[in-house]
C-alpha cells in the first residue's frame, strides 16, 4: 500500500456516496445488531496455534521468487485441507525488473443454496462476501524483508478464520445461506520500486480486469462486501472508518465496534476499554490508502478496509518480523474477526456446534 495519505475531494465523495452500495441486498448483508449466536469457547485458541499458521508464511516472498511460490503452495494446501474450493488466477506482469510470473489464490467455501443450484454454478457471479489480503513481500536489495505485518499476519488470520469454520460450523445450516464466502490472497500488491498506477497492486488489478472482461459489471454487483486486511499485528492497530457514507461499509464497521464491546464485556480482550474500532464518526473518510481494494472500489463494490492508521512503526523496514509482533493485539483481533465472520453470514439459525458458553 502507499504510505502517502491524500485528502479526498468533495467531488469524489459526492460521486462515491451516491453511486456505491445502492443495491438493497448490500445494505442487509451485515446485520444491524449482534445475533448472539457466537459462543466464547469457539473463538479462543492459543497464540502458538496462530504461530503454527503464520510461520510458514513469514519468509521472503517477493513476487516471482521461489519463496513466493512456496508460500502460495502452502496457502493452497491449507485452504483445501479446510474444505475450500481453490483456484489460481495466474498471469505474467510487466514490472520495472522485467516480466514476473504471479498468481492470486482464490478460495471459495462451498456453502449456500445458490452454490448447489446446479453443477455448473459459477462462484464468481453468485452473491458473496470477499475477505482479502496480499501474500507477497516487498523487494529490498539491501536487507531481507520478512513483512510479518505486511501481510503475513493477515494471511494467517484468514487461515485462522477458515480453520474456525471447518471446526465449529454446521454445514447443513450453511446450505441455507443465500450467499457464499471467498477468501482471496493477492500476489503482487507491493511496488518493486516506487508506488505508481502500473507498479503496484498487480494481482488485484489483474483479477478485477479478468472478472470485468469475462462477466461484466454483474461480477462486481454480486460482491455484497469486500473486506481487505493489511498491516495487522504491529504496535499501531487503530482502524479508521474509511467509508462512513456507504451504508454497507459503515454498518460493517459498526458491527466490529459492537463485537469489540461485547468481547470486552466478556473480559476476553487484553485491553480495558475499546480501542480498535472506535471511529464511529467516520474521520477516516478524509484519507485514502492505495491498496488492493481500489480496483473493486472503482466498480462500486462496498469496501471495509482494515488497515490501521498510523501504519505500524515497522512498516517497510527490517524490524517487521515475527519476533516484533504484538501478540495481545493479534489475539484480540483474531477473536473479533471470527465473531465478525459469523455475523456477516447473516443467518440466525446458524450456530457453531462446539460450544458451551453463549454471549
**CA–CA gap between residue 274 and residue 269 (Å, rounded):** 10
Provide DSSP, 116-151.
TS-TT--TTTS-EEEEEEE------SSS----IIII
238 closest CA partner among 332, 111, 156, 151:
332
230 labelled catalytic: yes
Q: Rg (Cα) of the chain, in Å, rounded?
A: 19
Nearest Cα residue to 147 out of 133, 161, 158, 159: 133
Residue whose C-alpha is closest to residue 293's, from 197, 198, 228, 196: 228
The three cell numbers of residue 200 are 503496484
Which helix H or strand E contains 330, and what residues bound it? helix 327-344
- For strands 85-95 and 303-306, give the pairing: unpaired
8 DSSP 8-state letter: P
Catalytic residue among 136, 160, 189, 260: 189
349 is annotated as an active-site residue: no
Provide the residue count of the chain: 359
CA distances from 109 to 8, 63, 175, 328 (A): 36, 26, 11, 29
190, 221, 224, 230: the catalytic one is 230
Rounded distance between C-alpha atoms, residue 231 and residue 153, angstroms:
8
Cα gap 316→7, rounded to integer Å:
23
**What b/e sequence results for 338-350 when a residue is b if at least 16 CB atoms lie within 10 Å of its CB, and e otherwise?**
bbbbbbbbbbeeb
Beta-strand relationship, 303-306 and 223-229: parallel
Residues tagged active-site = 189, 230
Amino acid at each position: 500500500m502507499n504510505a502517502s495519505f491524500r485528502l479526498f475531494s468533495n467531488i469524489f465523495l459526492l460521486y462515491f456516496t451516491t453511486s456505491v452500495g445502492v443495491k438493497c441486498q448490500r445494505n442487509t448483508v451485515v446485520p444491524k445488531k449482534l445475533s448472539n449466536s457466537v459462543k466464547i469457547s469457539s473463538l479462543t485458541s492459543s497464540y502458538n496455534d496462530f504461530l503454527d499458521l503464520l510461520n510458514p508464511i513469514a519468509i521472503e516472498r517477493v513476487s516471482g521468487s521461489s519463496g513466493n511460490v512456496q508460500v502460495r503452495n502452502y496457502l493452497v494446501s491449507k485452504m483445501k485441507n479446510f474444505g475450500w474450493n481453490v483456484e489460481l488466477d495466474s498471469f505474467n506482469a510487466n514490472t520495472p525488473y522485467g516480466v514476473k510470473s504471479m498468481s492470486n489464490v482464490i478460495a471459495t467455501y462451498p456453502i449456500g443454496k445458490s452454490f448447489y443450484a446446479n453443477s455448473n454454478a459459477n462462484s464468481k457471479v453468485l452473491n458473496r462476501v470477499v475477505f482479502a489480503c496480499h501474500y507477497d513481500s516487498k523487494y529490498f536489495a539491501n536487507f531481507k524483508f520478512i513483512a510479518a505485518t505486511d501481510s503475513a499476519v493477515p494471511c494467517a488470520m484468514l487461515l485462522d478464520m477458515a480453520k474456525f469454520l471447518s471446526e465449529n460450523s454446521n454445514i447443513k445450516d450453511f446450505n441455507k445461506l443465500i450467499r457464499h464466502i471467498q477468501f482471496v490472497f493477492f500476489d503482487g500488491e507491493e511496488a518493486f520500486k516506487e508506488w505508481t498506477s502500473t507498479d503496484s497492486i498487480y494481482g488485484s488489478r489483474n483479477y478485477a480486469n479478468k472478472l470485468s472482461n469475462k462477466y461484466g459489471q454483474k461480477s462486481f454487483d454480486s460482491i455484497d462486501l469486500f473486506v481487505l486486511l493489511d498491516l495487522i499485528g504491529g504496535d499501531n492497530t487503530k482502524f479508521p472508518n474509511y467509508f462512513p457514507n456507504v451504508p454497507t461499509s459503515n454498518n460493517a464497521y459498526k458491527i466490529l465496534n459492537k463485537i469489540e464491546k461485547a468481547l470486552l464485556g466478556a473480559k476476553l480482550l487484553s485491553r480495558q476499554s475499546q480501542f480498535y474500532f472506535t471511529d464511529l464518526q467516520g474521520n477516516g473518510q478524509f484519507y485514502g490508502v492505495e491498496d488492493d481494494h481500489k480496483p473493486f472500489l472503482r466498480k462500486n463494490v462496498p469496501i471495509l478496509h482494515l488497515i490501521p492508521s498510523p501504519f505500524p512503526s515497522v512498516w517497510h523496514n527490517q524490524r517487521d518480523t515475527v519476533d516484533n509482533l504484538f501478540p495481545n493485539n493479534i489475539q484480540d483481533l483474531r477473536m473479533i474477526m471470527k465473531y465478525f465472520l459469523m455475523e456477516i453470514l447473516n443467518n440466525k439459525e446458524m450456530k457453531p456446534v462446539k460450544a458451551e458458553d453463549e454471549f
